[in-house]
Amino acid sequence: MMAESKIALLELLRNAGIDQPEFMRVGLQAFLQDLIEAEVAAQIGAGRHERTDERTTYRNGRRPRDWNTRLGTVRLQIPKLRKGVYFPRFLEPRRRSEQALASVIQEAYVLGVSTRKVDELVQTMGMTGISKSEVSRIAKQLDERAEAFRQRQLDGEYPYIWLDAKYLKVREGDRVVSMALVVATGVRSTGEREILGCDIGLSEDAPFWTEFLRSLKRRGLKGVKLAISDAHEGLRQAIETVLVGASWQRCRVHFMRNLLSQVPKQAQAVTAALIRTIFVQPTKQDALRQLAQVAESLRPRFPKVAEMLLTSSEDVLAYMSFPSEHWRQIHSTNPLERLNREIGRRADVVAIFPNRPSVLRLVGAVLMEQNDEWAAATRRYFSQESMAKLYADRASEAANNPALSAVN
């Protein structure tokens, strides 16, 4: 075997030159094969065709083993023994180099690289490529970590939570259906932002949202003072059922879109500017007075818009009952929608997910990545001073309202 390796090296040197990558790969392969022969000779007490009193068994053929390295894929021949087992020490199962390759594939998967493209990525690293089934197998190693993240215990209080859904195409049996991926984020009482959970279901109906919120509470969600979402009826019912005592903020951005859909296009800019005067008021009382005036001015031309403003006033201005330092972030679901766009960017490459677990695998990994970034941020989402003000304001409100104090 040593002679064969040397012949191959000499031939390659003559044809390619010592500075060529292929020469380095074959050289490494020859060295490792010689090392294997030395190890197995020491284990059985004799070299090839050698007669010694120390021999304990005989070789019994070889089995191929590919080892992916930075120089490329090295094909080795591992001797088999009649008695016992030999395995090279430098090829320990799940050795770091193989773990690194698995990590690269997993990261490519999370970044939205399709399984077909991963094979090309592996080849650019100097390796012989990898099958789609192998990519999927390695990607499934993310399942355990993603599930542990989704089911982790939530400790402390989360006064603010954002809830939203995004639709993805998933294969269910013999059909491709649009499924609702729901995501919840929150802010701790100390001001840090955190991913709370995610799940996927056939639709955004009330039972699905209710079970999702209950699962958050079973994991420790508590202290919710304001839930921010769009006006989906099923979600609203779930918030009222599960998050008893919490206020509901109707997403201001979605509300404006709904209002302007009732206005002719040529009048939308003027109407939007008039409605925005409501939201620049310094207090909730001022905003409510301005809303009433705006509704009256719009009633002659757009009675439906005026009615929508009046009936939704408390829901769309709920955020004004909280510290003004928080208004910009809590008046809409925009912070969560940015996260949803990132999920969409990764999911668009996949296009159609093969099943529900594959959705939770990819999305779970994206959410873990985002949660780590938030945890490593040098600044809190909300300052400790403003959070202290939140609790001071709510304590004062509870003192003046015994019913609210009893609920909390």
Residue that finishes a domain, picked among 68, 89, 110: 89
Q: What is the CATH number of the domain that holds 184?
A: 3.30.420.10
**Buried-state track 14-46, b at ≥16 Cβ within 10 A, e below 16:** eeeeeeeeebbbbbbbbebbeebbebbbeebeb
Asked if residue 172 and residue 60 are part of one domain, the reply reads no
Asked if residue 344 and residue 247 are part of one domain, the reply reads yes
Q: Domain range spanning residue 55?
A: 1-89
Q: What is the pTM of this model?
A: 0.69
Residue that finishes a domain, picked among 89, 110, 138: 89
Q: What is the pLDDT along the chain (408 residues), one digit of tens a residue?
A: 545 555 555 565 555 554 456 666 777 777 788 878 888 888 888 887 788 888 888 888 888 877 776 667 788 888 888 887 777 776 654 454 455 556 556 666 666 666 666 666 666 655 555 666 666 666 667 778 888 889 999 998 999 999 999 999 988 888 889 999 999 999 999 999 999 999 999 888 899 999 999 999 999 999 999 999 998 889 999 999 999 999 999 999 999 999 999 999 999 999 999 999 999 999 999 999 999 999 999 999 999 999 999 999 999 999 999 999 999 999 999 888 888 888 888 788 777 788 888 888 888 888 988 888 888 888 899 999 999 988 886 655 655 555 544 444
Asked if residue 204 and residue 73 are part of one domain, the reply reads no
Give the tokens for residue 263.
């206005």
Structural domain total, the chain: 2
Residue 272 included in any domain: no
pLDDT at 407: 47
**Per-residue pLDDT tens over the stretch 178-228:** 999 999 999 999 999 999 999 999 888 899 999 999 999 999 999 999 999
H-run or E-run covering 87? none
Return the number of other C-beta atoms located less than 10 Å from residue 102's C-beta.
16
Alpha carbons 51 and 57: distance in angstroms, whole number: 11
**Per-residue pLDDT tens over the stretch 327-374:** 999 999 988 888 888 888 878 877 778 888 888 888 888 898 888 888
Residue 326 included in any domain: no
Long-range CB contacts for residues 345-350, cutoff 8 Å, separation at least 24: 345/112, 346/110, 346/111, 346/112, 347/112, 347/168, 348/112, 349/112, 349/113, 349/114, 350/112, 350/114
What 3-state class would DSSP assign to 94?
A: coil
Phi, psi at 61, each rounded to 5°: 90, -170
**DSSP β-ladder status, 193-201 and 175-187:** antiparallel
Cα separations in angstroms, 185 against 20, 200, 206, 243:
52, 15, 19, 15
Alpha carbons 269 and 260: distance in angstroms, whole number: 9
Asked if residue 366 and residue 233 are part of one domain, the reply reads yes
Asked if residue 69 and residue 177 are part of one domain, the reply reads no
- Return the closest-CA partner of residue 65 out of 38, 98, 27: 98
Residue 187 included in any domain: yes
Asked if residue 342 and residue 241 are part of one domain, the reply reads yes
Alpha carbons 185 and 333: distance in angstroms, whole number: 10
Return the number of other C-beta atoms located less than 10 Å from residue 7's C-beta.
11
